[in-house]
Amino acid sequence: MSTTYPIEDSIPLPPEEDAEKPKKKQLTKDEKIEKEKKELLSSVAAADFSSLKPRVAYVLNLYPHTRNSDISLSLKYWEIFQPDLYKDTGILPKNLFKLERLHYIVRARAKIQNEYELFLADSEIKKSRRRNEEKMEGAVIEDAPPRKKVHIFSDETGKTHRYVMVASVWVLTGRAVFTTTKAINDWKAKSLWKNREVHFTKFGKSDYETLKSYLAVILENREYLGFKYIAVERAKTNRPIEETILKLHEHMLIRGAVHEIDNGRIDLPREMEVTVDEEQSLDSFVISDLRDRIGENYTNKFNGKLQLVSLETASSKNSPLIQLSDVIAGAIGRILNHEGERNFKDDMADLVVQMLDLKLDQGNIDGLDSAARFNV
């Protein structure tokens, strides 16, 4: 005899009112502005030029005179980001429709300066901006030079392996940050890697020739690039892994700066901006400590002529230069840490080291309790 069940047992009851999903917290205006400000700084640090605001912020950061004049800002923006349309000799009428609209650039600048309070204009300019535009015609024509900067993009690997290391890409001028990023993005858009991030651990057997083509693009822009790494054997250091990584970053930035200055690749005075992959082991407290230690070292060692003006974390997603530091770290890590049978990954690691001319030197570094392998 079959059993009969009440109809209500077969129909789901509506959820209790108390069981409703918690509502997402609505940000206040100030919280929203602070969130957008942090996102913008992260994009600038990552050299992510995929949208208008980071591009405008990049110009404001590199060319201080553009903070005081929307005309100067727009001209410099077009010169950097749309050189095929903007020429010193003039702009063709048909190209006016293709250039980024001046009022869009001005609106982005106003938001960056007025709401985020970044890259501010001179105090006198802020009081009467429109009237001061007319007074600045000479400065616009003169085209003031950019601030002298070095941008460093760093990544780490090997926390659970024999060697732990930090690798970095040094870009010796602010303008080269964009030209190198653009060169990589232009190549990538036509390559087999069009829809993927570039990470050494993701390389497959069929990626060798694409990697070779990618590295060739890097070499074409090598004039203003430097590649550095520093590694120590974990078992031979007495420090916790987080402190070891902190010391590696510190020595990388100090020894790297000395190397570039001693070899005449950069002169002083100079500003340093450092971007670390946000997926690394350094939390906000360690980042703050590293920022203070490097800043103090630069000030003392170089009599205030070398300054660390920023040390930020950023996602590698839209940053070809953080991804490049990952490729270098991954290749060196493969050579130092892999103990199994040789396969295609070893060939790729050798290709990176060979084409970028990386050395696997070993020596002692003051402040590390283990011999280090380094390339500076």
Return the CATH number at 325.
3.30.420.10
Q: Are residues 179 and 307 in the same domain?
A: yes
> What pLDDT does residue 11 have?
55
| Residue 85 and residue 222 in one domain | no
pLDDT digit string (tens) for 296-353?
A: 999 999 999 999 999 999 999 989 999 999 999 999 999 999 988 999 999 999 999 9
Is the pLDDT at 3 greater than 70? The verdict is no
Residue 15: inside a domain, yes or no?
A: no
Whether 23 maps to a domain, the answer reads: no
pLDDT in the model for residue 258: 92
Which range, of 137-141, 198-202, 274-278, averages the lowest pLDDT? 137-141
Is 5's pLDDT higher than 60? Answer: no
Q: pLDDT higher for 13 or 55?
A: 55
**Which pLDDT tens digit goes with each residue over 70-89?**
999 999 999 999 999 998 78
The pLDDT of residue 53 is above 60: yes
Q: Are residues 187 and 257 in the same domain?
A: yes
> Is the model's pLDDT at 175 over the cut of 80?
yes
Residue 1 confidence (pLDDT) above 60: no
Q: Which residues contact 27 (CB under 8 A, 6 or more apart)?
A: 35
217 token code pair:
């693009």
Mark whether 156 and 276 lie in a shared domain. yes
Q: Would 95 be classed as within a structural domain?
A: yes
- Examine the pLDDT at 370 and tell me if it is beyond 90: no
Residue 122's pLDDT is 87
Would you state the pLDDT for residue 221? 93
Q: 117 to each of 67, 90, 212, how far by Cα in Å? A: 12, 33, 43
What average pLDDT score do residues 208-217 get? 98
CA atoms within 13 A on the CB side of 339: 4
The answer on pLDDT for 13 being more than 90 is no
216 and 79 in one domain? no
Q: Are residues 173 and 105 in the same domain?
A: no
What does the pLDDT read at residue 12? 58
Q: What is the pLDDT of residues 103-136, one digit of tens each?
A: 999 999 999 999 999 999 987 776 665 555 555 5
| Chain segment 240-272, per-residue pLDDT in tens | 888 889 999 999 999 999 999 999 999 999 999
Query: Can you give the residue range of the structural domain that contains 69?
Result: 29-142
Query: Considering the domain boundaries, does residue 67 fall inside one?
Result: yes
How would residue 368 be classed by pLDDT, with cut points 50, 70 and 90? low
16 assigned to some structural domain: no
315 occurs within a structural domain: yes
Domain co-membership, 155 together with 136:
no
At 90 the pLDDT is 82
Are 178 and 246 in a shared domain? yes
Confidence band for 359, pLDDT divided at 50, 70 and 90: confident
* Pair 165, 242 in one domain: yes
154 shares a domain with 291: yes
pLDDT recorded at residue 286: 85
The mean pLDDT of 203-219, rounded to a whole number, is 97
Residues 270 and 186 in one domain: yes
Residue, of 11 and 228, whose pLDDT is higher: 228
* Residue finishing a domain among 119, 142, 165: 142
Specify the pTM: 0.84
Inside any domain, residue 34:
yes
- Averaged over 133-147, what is the pLDDT? 62
247, part of any domain: yes
**Which one of 86, 117, 142 terminates a domain?**
142
Domain count, the chain: 2
pLDDT tens per residue across span 29-39: 999 999 999 99
- The predicted structure's pLDDT at residue 194: 95
Position 360 confidence tier, pLDDT thresholds 50, 70, 90:
confident
**What's the pLDDT at 137?**
54
pLDDT at position 20 is: 59
Question: What average pLDDT score do residues 35-45 get?
Answer: 94
57, 128: one domain: yes
Q: pLDDT at position 146, please? A: 86
Given a cut of 80, is residue 144 above it in pLDDT? no
Give the whole-number percent of the chain exceeding pLDDT 90.
68
